[in-house]
Structure 1
Amino acid sequence: MSILITGATGTIGSLITARLAEAGAEVKALVRQAGKRDFPAGVTEVIADLTDVPSMRAALSSVRTLFLLNAVTPDEVTQALITLNLAREAGIERIVYLSVIHADKFTNVPHFTGKHTVERMIESHGVPATILRPAYFMQNELMVQQTLRDYGVYPMPIGSKGVSMIDARDIADVAVAELLRRDRAPTALDRVTLELVGPQALTGAAVAQAWSLALSREVAYGGDDVAAFEGQMASFGPSWLAYDMRLMMAGIQAFGMQAEDGTVERLQAILGRPLRTYDDFVREAAGQA
């Protein structure tokens, strides 16, 4: 039996797929098109679509463990619920689901509330799963590197409450640890929820200062104007996504993104090493650009 990875061509899914293969696991990577990405030796491509029930039934038919990651799309909830119901139908009792931190708090943000709906399904049906709730990804910052360099402005309106950004590589490593723990257990394990955060709570001003040091030039925080942020996002992508991101940023400004006391220590115990810091990430990103 094997571990099926959805979202296998994305940032998190590709990291998980590679690290599971390194660990000697039997890995299947779910893709919609064959050959879209080069996977490590031993990884099997499985062609299916999360909204195509026959293809998903076939994909799940010989799977022991499932990693479920849904992209932010208008039908995200439908994709997730169909996949989980089909997994239950196939008798899969080892699941890791990638949700989002404060999914129950950011109630007006579409993709947060969608993930909370999926969490409620997992809980109400007693699905044996690990729910991973990551905060804002450090790798999101790579999208604004050109603005940082060309204009000396950090444009993400994250406010002053504090965001405990986490490196995507740490998310992947925790996911791999949980997938292997569940896959290797003789029976289904109890449901677990893990908030995934980095070791620092960062404000917009603190982030700008980190980039100033890394780039050896002054970088200013662009401010808290979420309407302007939406307009900028809409110039690069669909308006529904831009508005969703605006609502998320407003929620971050209101609530921040920080986990409970003891979370960092718990994650570092799972990883067996310290979490990556934002300063280290920024220095690495600045050096590679």
Structure 2
Amino acid sequence: MTIRKTVFCLAFSAIAVQASAQINFTGSYTQDFDSLLNTGTNNAWTDNSTITGWYIRRMNDVNLVLSQVYNAGDGGSNAGALYSYGSASATERAIGSVASGSVEHLVYGARLTNNTGGVINEFTLNYTGEQWRDGNNLTQHSLLFSYKIGGTNIGEDQQTAGGTVGYSADPTFTRFAGLDFTGPIATSVAGPLDGNLPANQAAISNTVTGLTWNPGEDLWIRWVDLNDVGNDHGLAVDNLEFTANPVPEPGSMIALAMGGLGLLARRRRKA
């Protein structure tokens, strides 16, 4: 193959990768969800477009996939739905949900492509978990975190009854409870909460280790909101920060060590 053809093929490959890219991850990624609409119901959601690299899945009580839509709200509604949560008409938003008997469970999360040029063995995730609705239920509810490397969808979980007993998680995902968010409020009074208040939120932070996330591979991170027993609370994710660094190549480490030895030798000669 000529040099010209090689260059052309490499350029074409780069364009193809860019066209199909999700979140182009090069070391850090942040998301505040403020691009979500702050008014309206049944707003259209398009995977990897409404928010680049973000996907959702809404299921009903017989495990049929529902239309891809979301509502803007401040916690005043108990309707089962995906929500853009925030104060009325405010542009500061969070992505969240209320599960129900008609919307059995909801899944939302991100797909990141490793473009760091190296293998990643761990990642750190920080976010704010917010509660925007007290559902009139004395039991606290949680958003369940999981992840996987590879694949083309956000999961095929099933739920046949309220609570964890009727829930079957997609086995291709790995659960990591250290990044779950459990809403702090559970009372007998139904109504909206201000998820921006410290009393109604929690700072979540943890590191997932033991990965082999190769260059060019996709990593999925997601939260599952189950239809819990009784009325569900409204929970959300905001102010997400995701960081990861590739493992240094052995050659790079050797070069660094040799450079250090050379510097030490020069200093000794000067002394």
TM-based fold match above 0.5: no
TM-score (ref. length: structure 1): 0.25
Higher Cα Rg: structure 1 or 2?
2
Structure whose residues are more often strand by fraction: 2
More helix per residue: 1 or 2? 1
